[in-house]
Amino acid sequence: MTISSTNSVVFLMGPTASGKTELALEMYNQLDASLISVDSALIYRGMDIGTAKPSKVTLENYPHALIDICEPDESFSVNQFVSLAKQHIESALNAGKLPILVGGTSFYFNALEHGLSKLPESTKDSRKYFNDRLKNQGSEKLHSQLLKIDHQSATRIHPNDSQRVTRALEVFHLSGVTLSELQGNKNENKLNHEIKKIILMPERSELHQRIEKRFIEMIKDGFLDEVETLRKNKNLNLDLASMRCVGYRQAWNYFDGLYSKQAMIEKAIVATRQLCKRQCTWLRNESNALILKETNIDKAINFLQERGA
């Protein structure tokens, strides 16, 4: 089936373990589409099991752009993501295909839809400074400091979201201007296409069950072997964004002897559920979207046809 489109894209969004990939593959089967990943973990090569990356066979049959594009010890910014995503979107549209952007990284989706703020770039020194503060003080303590500096950003960022907490503090440290002030001045680098949003949102209890089941399966599939291999890379450490991905940090700490295997499993499941909660909170603020509690290809296609995608 072909849904004619010359200037629109599909955002297929949902929390972790909601079944986004499965719905994306069904849409790919029925539509003349191009799949583009919007996931800040799937960009890394060698991080396959713990990120629930589609299998090699799946990716051969259903190509996804922006998967396996950098090494775990390399930095990758949202600016880079937006630039690459826009290139793939234009290539798809020029080929007469419908771009389907699928993933759960809200910051990436938001940057595409609303544009990027002109934030100061991180430096090696600033990253080390705030990573050291995070180790010594913890995320919640840093969040309380952010409340005093930038109350608006602090209310939007969960105290346990250490990456966003430290980034907000770093922005103020580097520029002398709060993150909320800078984000109020978007540049013109936003996506210049109509966006059709489909959100896959199962009940929270079901998501929690899926998260636990999936992580247990990851362990059986060799996730710990994957982390052991990553640990052999002397350039990797827990300060890097790649190793902050849920599951990887907990497994790394397990190998460092900080807690037992069972405790690691429990902590990883809890961390994933916390991520899920943050994603759901963001998704509930989305408007003009088709909300699906379960995969339903017919409803998805009908929605796109009605909206003229």
> Is 189 a residue whose pLDDT tops 80?
no
Res. 308: pLDDT tops 70: no
291 beta partners:
199
pLDDT score at 239: 83
Q: What percent of the chain has pLDDT over 70?
A: 96
Contact (CB, 8 A) for 279 and 272: no
Q: Who's near 188: CB < 8 A, 6+ residues apart?
A: 115
Does the pLDDT of residue 3 top 80, yes or no? Answer: no
pLDDT in tens, 288-300: 999 999 999 999 9
Q: What band does 188 get if pLDDT is binned at 50, 70 and 90?
A: low
Mean pLDDT of the chain: 93
pLDDT above 60: residue 139: yes
Q: What is the pLDDT of residues 102-124, one digit of tens each?
A: 999 998 999 999 887 778 888 88
Strands (E), the chain: 8-13, 33-38, 64-65, 98-103, 194-200, 289-292
Prediction pTM value = 0.83
Q: What is the pLDDT of residue 233?
A: 97
Residue 236's pLDDT is: 95
What tokens were used for 160?
A: 């346990």
Distance CA 218, CA 255 (A): 17
pLDDT value at residue 287: 87
Instruction: Check residue 5 and give its pLDDT.
Output: 57
Whether the predicted pLDDT of 187 surpasses 80: no
